[in-house]
Amino acid sequence: MTPLKPRNKTPENRAIDWISLGFSAPWLVYLGYIYDGLLEPNAPVWKPVYVIICLVIFSITDVAAYTVPWILPASSYFRRLLLWTVLLLVPVCGVMLIAAIPPADVLIGFTIYFVALWTFAEDIPYSTRIRGAFAIAAVSWIIYMFSDGFPINFADKSRLTLSLGIPMIGIMAFSYLIQLSKNADKTQAKLDMVSERERIARDVHDVLGHSLTVITLKADLARKLLHADPDRADAELEAIAQLSRSSLAEVRSTVTRLRIPDFSGEIQASARALQTASITAKLPDAEHALSVVGVNSSLFSWVLREAVTNIVRHSHAGFCEVRLSNTGLEILDNGVGIPAEYAAGSGIKGMKSRVESAGGTLVIEDAPAHWLREHPAGSGAVDVRGTRVRVSMDGNTAEIEPSGDTDD
C-alpha cells in the first residue's frame, strides 16, 4: 500500500499514479475473505448483489485514494485524508446494514485498510499519521471487544484480534523502517550540504583571502613607489593585474562547479578559468567527457581541478591541453614547469595519495619535447619546460592520443 501523493494544481502533476495502483490493488483480494463471512446461507439474491456493489465501491475508493488523491479538493493534506476516510467508511456502513455478522465484526475486518491509508499518507507528518492509524485501530478493537457486552469472551475474540492485529503491526513497523530510511537520507543530504558549504567557503577563502591580501600590500607598495621608482611601481601594478585575473578565473571556476557538479562541469570550469587567465586551452567536449570517464569521474574531476589551479597560479603558461581516455587523464601546459616549493610540498603528495588510494598511477613530469615544439611558449618566455600530469587507472602512463571532440 503506497502513500498518498501531494495535492498539486498543475495539470502535469495530476496524472494517475500507476505505481501506487500496482501496490494498492493486490490488497483488495483480502475483501474476498471478508465477503465469505458476511451473509447467512441461503440469503436472498439481492443481498449478495448489494454486498458486492458495496465492496466494489470500497475498492474503487481505496484505489483512488492512492492513485488519484487530488480529485478531492481540500485546504490541507490532513483534511483531504479525513475526506477519503469518510468516503471509505460509507460502503462499510452499507455492508453493516445487512451483514449476518455483528457490525463490530464488519468494522474490524475493514480496519486494516484504514490503518494502511493513514500509515502511508506521506504528505502528513509521520507522528500524526501513526497516531491516527493507532487511534483507528484502537477504537475499532475496543468496539469489537465490547460489542457483546460483559463479560468479554476473550477466547472467541482473540483469534480475529491476532489475525488482523499482527498485519496492522507489520504495516506500522514497515512504515517505521521506511521513515528511518528517509530520515537517514535527509540527514545525509544535510551533511552533504554542510560539506559543500564548507568546501565553497574554503575555496573562496583560499582564492580571495590570499589574493586580496597580496593585492592590498602590492597596491600600497606601488603607491609609495609611484614617484620614487616608477619602473618598480609599474611592475607591482602588473603583478596586481595578473593576480586579479588569476583570482577571477578561480572564482568563476568555483561558480561553474556549483552549477554543474560533475566532470562535464569541471571541464567547463577549467575552460573559464584558463580563458580568464589568458591561457589558450584545448579541452575535451564537456558533454562527451562524462560518458568517457565513467566511474572515474570524481577522481578525474579532482585531479583536473588541482592541475588547472596550479597552471593558473604558477605556470605562466600560454597553452594547456587536456586529453581523456576511459582509464586515463592527461594535462599538459607550456609553462615554466613545476615550482620547486610546490614539488616538495603537500599538493603533489596529496594528489598522488588520492590517485593511488583509488587504485591508479600518477605521473608528474616535464612536458614532452615534441609537444612543446608543437605548442611553443611566447617569444618572451624563458626556461620553458612545461608540465605533464598523467593519471592512469590501468598502469599505462604513455601519452593519450588527442581526441577529435574538443572544446577549444
Residues 269 and 405 in one domain: yes
* Cross-sheet strand order for the sheet of 328-333: 361-365, 387-392, 328-333, 319-324, 280-284, 406-407
- Give the pLDDT score at 342: 62
Q: How far apart are CA 246 and CA 47, in angstroms?
A: 85
Angle at 397 between CA 392 and CA 399, to 5 degrees: 110
- Give the pLDDT score at 5: 43
Q: How far apart are CA 230 and CA 183, in angstroms?
A: 64
Q: How far apart are CA 184 and CA 191, in angstroms?
A: 10
Given a cut of 70, the residues of the chain with pLDDT beneath it are 1-15, 17, 20, 23, 37, 149, 152-157, 160, 203-204, 206-210, 253-261, 339-347, 379-382, 404-408
* Domain end position, chosen among 120, 136, 152: 152
262-293 b/e with 16+ CB inside 10 Å = b? ebbbbbbbbbbbbebbebebbbbbbeebbebb
Inside any domain, residue 253: no
- Residue 366 DSSP one-character state: P
Inside any domain, residue 197: no
> Closest Cα partner for 264 from 243, 241, 289, 282?
289
- Give the pLDDT score at 324: 93
- Give the pLDDT score at 76: 83
Q: How far apart are CA 131 and CA 126, in angstroms?
A: 9
CA separation, residue 152 to residues 103, 155, 158 (Å): 17, 9, 11
Burial class (CB in 10 A: 0-12, 13-18, 19+), 51: buried
Q: For 2-20, what is each residue's pLDDT tens digit?
A: 444 444 443 435 667 677 6
Angle at 297 between CA 296 and CA 299, to 5 degrees: 70
Angle at 195 between CA 194 and CA 199, to 5 degrees: 115
- Give the pLDDT score at 168: 82
* Domain end position, chosen among 152, 169, 186: 152
Q: How far apart are CA 339 and CA 280, in angstroms?
A: 21
Inside any domain, residue 407: yes
Q: How far apart are CA 24 and CA 190, in angstroms?
A: 32
Residues 138 and 268 in one domain: no
Give the pairing of strands 406-407 and 328-333: unpaired
Residues 132 and 271 in one domain: no
Inside any domain, residue 298: yes
Report residue 76 as a C-alpha cell: 490541507
- Residue 357 DSSP one-character state: H
Domain count, the chain: 2
What domain range includes position 106? 11-152
CATH number of 318's domain? 3.30.565.10
* Domain end position, chosen among 152, 174, 208: 152
- Give the pLDDT score at 69: 82
Inside any domain, residue 75: yes
Q: For 358-393, what is each residue's pLDDT tens digit?
A: 899 999 999 999 999 999 887 666 678 899 999 999
Determine contact, residues 168/114, Cβ cutoff 8 Å.
Answer: no
Residues 278 and 408 in one domain: yes
Q: Specify the 3-state DSSP secondary structure of 390.
A: strand
Inside any domain, residue 303: yes
- Give the pLDDT score at 11: 40
Inside any domain, residue 135: yes
- Residue 294 DSSP one-character state: G
Inside any domain, residue 198: no
